[in-house]
Amino acid sequence: MAPGLFVFFGLISSVLLTGVTSLKCYTCFITHGQCRNEDMTLVECKADETYCISFTLRTTFSIPSVGYTTKTCAKPEEANDGYYSITSVGAKYFEALLYSCQLDGCNSLPSSLPYHEELKPNRLICPGSYARDEYSPQPPQPVLCLGRENWCGNIDFGMYTFGAIHDEIFAQGCVTKNVCSYPLGETQMGNGIVKFNVTSNNCSIALQLPDVFYHIVFEN
């Protein structure tokens, strides 16, 4: 090949390489409320981080209870978008909302995850139980489903938060559909801020609460 062509193709390659820019996402971490504008920083993501995410989690399953919102860059396997809600016995619940996108700065909007105490009963019911280890099971009790929870779930999973809080959870209760379809095995959200190891996940359609019982409980 003539020397001039080497120079030409070298210039083309240089232009193509320099024209590839990394995604830019907002980053923030806050343990209460929303990320405000002054809390967020726009950063350039690593080459393998092709998503921006906004992730909010609140749960009383862990000890101590945990709640936070984070915005960050993420890899494709962390883009498990959806609303996840589990309501079990004894005021035990898990709720999370993950939103991902692929445009610069697209994760700036406030989280829309509703607070669990604001959710209303939806006339559905499931058996519920909760234990932090497999050797302390509790007899199932009826649980009223809230909001968009329309499935019954029986879920065993490990949860590792902040790299320091480790909980093994065995829960039955009302769940959203996204909980039922969450993958088994080890996964993470929020760029590793929380890691899950789901070992069992069985779901069935929630039962309708008879009107007579609903009126007795909620209208008297």
* DSSP notation for the chain: --HHHHHHHHHHHHHHHHT----EEEEEEESSS---GGG-EEEEPPTT--EEEEEEEEESSSSS-EEEEEEEEE-GGG---EEEEEE-STT-EEEEEEEEE-STTTT-SPP-PPPGGG--EEEEEEEEEEESSTTS----EEEEEETT--EEEEEEEEEEETTTEEEEEEEEEEE-HHHHTSPSEEEEETTTTEEEEEEEEEEEEPEEPPHHHHHHHH--
Residue 19: other Cβ atoms inside 10 A: 7
Q: What is residue 54's predicted lDDT score, i.e. its pLDDT?
A: 96
Residue 73: other Cβ atoms inside 10 A: 23
**Average pLDDT along the chain:** 86
Q: Model pTM?
A: 0.83
Q: Residues for the chain: how many in total?
A: 220
Q: Each residue of 95-149: pLDDT tens digit?
A: 999 999 999 999 999 999 999 999 999 999 999 999 987 666 677 899 999 999 9
40-54, 136-150, 177-191, range with greatest mean pLDDT: 40-54
| CA distances (Å), origin 66, targets 102, 125, 161, 209 | 28, 26, 8, 31
Burial of residue 150 (number of CB atoms within 10 Å: 0-12, 13-18, 19+) = middle
- In the structure, what pLDDT confidence band is assigned to residue 92 with cuts at 50, 70 and 90? very high
Q: What is residue 218's predicted lDDT score, i.e. its pLDDT?
A: 53
